[in-house]
Amino acid sequence: MGYAIERFVDPVNPELFCSMCREVLKDPLECSSCQSSFCASCTEEWKKKNSVCPNSCNLNFQRAHKFLRQVLGLLKLKCKNSEAGCQIVTTLDLISKHEALECPYTLVQCKYPGCNAQFFRSEAENHDKTCEQKIITCNECGEEFSYKIAEQHSCIHVMVQVVQDIKLLSTQSTKMIKELQESDLITKKNWKLRHENVRCNACQKDPIEGTRNTCLECPDFNLCSTCKAESKHDHRFIQLSENGKHEYVTCDGCFASPIPGIRWKCKVCDNFDFCHRCKFGAPHPNHEFLALAPYFVDAIPLPPDKLGYRPGEIFSRKWTVFNNGVETIKNMTFICIHGETCTENRELSFGNVEIPAKQSRVLKVDQKITLEIPGIYTSLWRLATSDRLSTFGPDFIIQLSIVN
């Protein structure tokens, strides 16, 4: 469905109406044959029941022309919360941001689990101060608990448990690393991977097990490892050892997010990507693309050098990181997603460290402690590389204990 006509402050040209819902176009697509324009959501519903476009053309929708999107973006309309009291009138380009992030009359849900209260965004701050389900953190010991039981909290038992947990983690990590090395699990874990709904085009085995070889020049051509070794198909192939996805990357053809399997990144356009199917079906002529397989990594935390740190000391953490994919991972950075320990540096570089396929490396993080209040601070980090716009791999949890 599109935008209701009643929301617009000026008359709207009928050419900007969706040919299906007859409302003003929202996320417009167009038929590649007749150039009729439709809302993206309308086309999705239409394709479920029809095999041709509403004008009897071949069913092939593409992103609407840039000029049409520019004209739509300049239309002025009222906020969807106007009846609740919002007086904002802005352009269609900005209305989504206003309604999602700024409008004080947007109805929001309390962010704390267990609280079902709903209220206007403008009332959120007052509710946050009194919500009994609000999770607070003790500045002394770092324990988290709900606001309604804050007066019952005691720090002593928490600090004792933290020391015991850290010692247990150290013992478990050392044992896990030894077991992995002895069993050679690192290199054998993917041998029996099944690529569901992917058939070998040579021997017809369905599904392909183990490494999947996908042709980079054919729209849907895959070979198992045995057939790839015997194949005379002289096109370029890329190996996929896991059924992975490219986090936070959207296909600019079919809008699939995240992109599964192979990601085709345009070398010319800024932030333009195709999935493997759209690379061969959606028009984007005369531009070169880079084929990227998903990264697959596992990480095991190594025992910390010490348990407690004082302000001004250098805090260190290390992980053994395993590259289970088929490409060498290089130019790595460590990006902070959220937490108290990454306020100074939200991105750390690992310099020239490279992890070849099926091998492991130890990654180390060193940071000077600027926090001064004793307690336990936690932050979450992810891996990224300079050639990709998305993070990958497991969550890296850094827990820092500050002592006097």
Provide the number of structural domains found in the chain: 3
Average pLDDT rounded to a whole number, residues 383-395:
78
pLDDT tens per residue across span 135-177: 888 776 667 777 776 766 666 666 666 667 777 766 776 676 5
Domain-ending residue, one of 244, 260, 292: 292
Q: What is the pLDDT of residue 191?
A: 44
Same domain, 92 and 31: yes
And the tokens for 186?
């690192």
- Smallest CA-to-CA distance from 31 within 69, 12, 57, 5 is with 57
CA–CA dist 392, 217 (Å, integer): 26
Q: For position 43, which CATH number holds?
A: 3.30.40.10
Same domain, 36 and 85: yes
- Smallest CA-to-CA distance from 277 within 215, 191, 189 is with 215
Domain-ending residue, one of 252, 269, 292: 292
CA–CA dist 383, 244 (Å, integer): 16
Domain carrying residue 64: 5-102
Domain-ending residue, one of 262, 292, 322: 292
Q: For position 385, which CATH number holds?
A: 2.60.40.10
Q: What is the pLDDT of residue 228?
A: 84
pLDDT, averaged across the chain: 83
Average pLDDT rounded to a whole number, residues 111-116:
87
Neighbours of 246 (CB within 10 A): 25
Q: Compute, in degrees rounded to 10, the torsion defined by CA atoms 233, 239, 242, 247.
A: -120
Average pLDDT rounded to a whole number, residues 326-335:
83
Report which of residues 383 and 174 the model is more confident about: 383
User: How are beta strands 314-323 and 360-368 bridged, if at all?
Assistant: antiparallel
Same domain, 382 and 308: yes
Cα separations (Å) of 111 from 100, 107, 126, 377?
15, 12, 13, 21
And the tokens for 199?
């058939």
Q: What are phi and psi of 66, to 5 degrees?
A: -55, -40
